[in-house]
Amino acid sequence: MSRIISNTVNIRLLRGASSAALVLATCACASSPHPHAHEARSAEAMFRPGKAALDRGDYDRAVRDFQNLQAEYPYGPYAEQAQLDTAYAYYKQGDSKAAVAAAEAFIKAHPVNPHVDYAWYLKGLAQYQAIEGAEFNPQPDYAALQTFRYLAETYPKTAYALSARLHIAKIIDLLGERNLRICKFYFIRHAYVAAANRCVRVIRDYQLSPARNLALYYLARSYRHLDLMALARTTAIILHRNAPSAPQTQKLRALWQPSAER
């Protein structure tokens, strides 16, 4: 399965406010006889080529320039912006692990920075970028889900939170599909207890996933094979209420029809 393409907001535009603030701060420093004014201008001079490389898509060069800046000036607004831009450059390169590490380093070093929500967003995007599909290792799915949930709950009024919720919905769909595949794997091998347990997980943890109704179908059939007829009927009735015209619902007609309960 091809790698998933995320439907994200334009994060470059969202970074405009912080860049503008940085420029204003620079102008203020340059106009005042601050003892560190020369140092600030030097940091700015080192930041400019990295920013230019980032804007033209030369992410390798951008990363090198930003790393050089942070080595020379590890503190201050330019160093912080360079950290964020490094994470973004890694993300654009498709280097998910490096992007996550860079975002985490910023979050750890600057937990109260006004743009830390953007760092959390970059971390989630990089983790989401590593997702390959329902049949692959689900660890990136769980990691991205945890990050986006934290972002949406901690910074609910930001534009990043809206995008995070969209990603959460996509991840839930993937995890629901993955667990449904496992349920079917057990079911066709007559491992009905294992199949039922996995279907319950889909219904309980990923109830907003499209996989839920199929999980109800296989759960009802698993209960029937286990001679748990009361549970099978209850499950079939729930499926009938959720999707009355679905083919799977019709296949369980004998369970949910009122006449079948007499």
Query: pLDDT for 205-244, tens place per residue?
Result: 998 899 999 999 999 999 999 999 999 999 999 999 999 9
* 178 touches 138 (CB < 8 A): yes
Q: How confident is the model at residue 259 (pLDDT cuts 50, 70, 90)?
A: low
pLDDT value, residue 42 = 85
Report, as an integer, the average pLDDT of 189-207.
95
Above pLDDT 90, what percent of the chain?
71
Looking up tokens 């091998």, which residue turns up?
189
- Residue 135's CB: how many other CB atoms inside 10 A? 10
User: Distance (Å, rounded) from C-alpha 261 to C-alpha 230?
Assistant: 9
Task: Report DSSP letters for 66-127, one per residue.
Answer: HHHHHHH--SSHHHHHHHHHHHHHHHHHT-HHHHHHHHHHHHHH-TT-TTHHHHHHHHHHHH
Report, as an integer, the average pLDDT of 146-163.
95
Look up the pTM and report it: 0.77
Report, as an integer, the average pLDDT of 77-106.
95
The pLDDT of residue 18 is above 70: no
